Amino acid sequence: MYPAKIRIRKPVTADVPALRELIERSVKELQAEDYTLEQMEGALESVFGVDSQLIADGTYLVAEARNVDAARDAQKISEGKNSGAEWVIAGCGG
């Protein structure tokens, strides 16, 4: 398997639910050893979140990753099929 491919783009309004989910997951997984669940949930309600003004300003960015499995993709391509690899939001900030 080859390393993930990364691309950066500006988000669109339709990305907001995925961005919220990513931020929540990030907080709960990366800060689990340092904060209580109550502290993390409080921060998610008041501090962390998607800033719609930054999206509107064009100053918020999304990083997308696409895992490439060369053997699987080559087989599908040789069969005339789409490789099926999808871009997934892996990070965001502004």
Q: Tens of pLDDT along 3-43?
A: 558 999 999 999 999 999 999 999 999 999 999 999 999 98
- Local structure of 78: helix, strand or coil: helix
Per-residue pLDDT at 91 exceeds 90: yes
Strand partners, 66: 5
Nearest to 55 by CA among 19, 7, 1: 19
Q: Which helix (H) or strand (E) holds 45?
A: helix 37-46
pTM for the model stands at 0.70
Nearest Cα to Cα of residue 25 among 86, 90, 85: 90
* CA–CA dist 62, 92 (Å, integer): 4
Q: Where are the domains of the chain?
A: 2-93
Q: Which amino acid is present at 74?
A: A
β pairing state of 2-9 and 61-68:
antiparallel
Bigger pLDDT: 44 vs 78: 44
